[in-house]
């Protein structure tokens, strides 16, 4: 498996006890990223919150990091990520913050160091657009919004 080196920086020393993002298993594609909160806070049901991580990264040109929800938080508590997957561009150097939303019926407690999302490094391809007066036809044509699989 190819490995790409990513520079990572903690912003404030007071969160040095929180582990850096890490893969949970050998087969994991996402690194678990954790909440850098002073103690704990409540994400009320139906509310959105920008959760700090105390981390900045330097992503190589030609790559991005995608922010994705953790399946356990989604299935067990209704916690998701707005704009999922979120994109962290290679030229961004600000703090990584996770946009969590509580879709559940109950308030959700987030504690210092809780795993709140996963981040996945992906290759980026640049598109070159060729404006055209016509496009090749396809079997699907303009069918969409539930069109496939129906007669």
pLDDT band at 7 (very low <50, low <70, confident <90, very high): very high
Instruction: Give the per-residue pLDDT at 150.
Output: 63
pLDDT tens readout for residues 107-132: 999 999 999 999 999 999 999 999 99
Gap between the Cα atoms of 97 and 117, Å rounded: 10
The two structure tokens encoding residue 18: 């929180």
Whether the CB-CB separation of 51 and 37 falls below 8 Å is answered with: yes
Question: Does the pLDDT value for residue 146 go beyond 90?
Answer: no
The two structure tokens encoding residue 42: 């409540």
pLDDT tens readout for residues 31-74: 999 999 999 999 999 999 999 999 999 999 999 999 999 999 99
Gap between the Cα atoms of 55 and 52, Å rounded: 8
Gap between the Cα atoms of 86 and 29, Å rounded: 16
Whether the CB-CB separation of 52 and 94 falls below 8 Å is answered with: no
| Lowest mean pLDDT segment, chosen from 76-80, 98-102, 133-137, 141-145 | 141-145
Gap between the Cα atoms of 80 and 101, Å rounded: 5
To which CATH superfamily is domain 7-123 assigned? Deoxyuridine triphosphatase (dUTPase) (2.70.40.10)
**pTM, entire model:** 0.88
Gap between the Cα atoms of 97 and 54, Å rounded: 8
């Amino acid at each position: 498996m190819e490995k790409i080196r990513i520079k990572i920086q903690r912003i404030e020393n007071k969160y040095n006890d929180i582990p850096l993002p890490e893969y949970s298993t050998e087969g994991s594609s996402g690194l678990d990223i954790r909440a850098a909160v002073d103690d704990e806070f409540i994400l009320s049901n139906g509310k959105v919150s920008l959760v700090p991580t105390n981390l900045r990264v330097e992503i190589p040109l030609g790559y991005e990091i995608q922010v994705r929800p953790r399946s356990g938080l989604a299935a067990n508590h209704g916690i998701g990520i707005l704009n999922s997957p979120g994109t962290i561009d290679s030229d961004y150097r600000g703090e990584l913050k996770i946009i969590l939303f509580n879709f559940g019926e109950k308030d959700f407690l987030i504690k210092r160091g809780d795993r709140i999302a996963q981040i996945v490094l992906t290759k980026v391809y640049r598109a070159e657009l060729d404006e055209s007066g016509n496009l090749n036809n396809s079997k699907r044509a303009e069918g969409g919004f539930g069109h496939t699989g129906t007669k």
